[in-house]
Amino acid sequence: MTGISISVELRAGEARNRLQGLLDRMDNRRPLFASIGERLVKSASDNFRAEKAPDGKPWKKLQPRTIREREKRKLTPIAILRARGHLAGSINYAATNDEVRIGSPVEYAAIHQLGGTIQQPDRAAKIYRKRDADGKIGRRFVKKSAADVITDVTIPGRAIIIPARPYLGLSPADEAAILEDAADWLAP
């Protein structure tokens, strides 16, 4: 997975010891890890729907500018991290006999999970204007096809700050359910 992948280790002593004890008694653990992977994919989907982190904290709301840009592009204007649904639909897992990894191959998955700053460099652009009846260059921009004056400009770079909006991880309910799954796999 090139986007992001997480590996979770239970740190709570009792839960970790109970799970390890159950795992030690299993020969073929891959089906259990696959079951856990399915559970965590569903949990991530629930996080997207609720717009909350696995620990229950709500995600930071969208900026008004982001909502306006989405509306102009005919995208879902207010759904956080779901303008098109690519990220939410890309969550998957890989299970082996020793572990399960959950993640997304989407290249922007990590920055949304962890947050960060994107440095956008200076870039060249053209602006299109039209001369008025007096031959003066107008102050309004026009479409390229209507322009008779083209000016090269440099748009300055900027920093884009992306807040962390964790969607992958274990909630307390997930931890309890994983222990139940392990116990069920061992039950006769």
Report the domain count for the chain: 2
Domain span including residue 133: 122-156
Q: Do residue 131 and residue 81 come from a single domain?
A: no
Q: Do residue 88 and residue 34 come from a single domain?
A: yes
Q: What is the overall mean pLDDT for the chain?
A: 86
Q: Which of 107, 84, 102, 87 is nearest to 40 (CA)?
A: 102
Count the neighbouring beta carbons within 10 Å of the beta carbon of residue 145.
Answer: 6
Q: Which of 124, 132, 170 is nearest to 148 (CA)?
A: 132
CB proximity list for 100: less than 8 A, separation 6 or greater: 33, 34, 36, 37, 40, 93, 94
Q: What is the pLDDT of residues 104-134, one digit of tens each?
A: 999 999 999 999 999 999 999 999 998 888 8
Q: Contact at 8 Å (CB) between 180 and 32?
A: no
Q: Which of 178, 161, 184 is nearest to 54 (CA)?
A: 178
Q: What is the pLDDT of residues 20-67, one digit of tens each?
A: 666 666 677 888 889 999 999 999 999 999 999 999 999 999 989 888
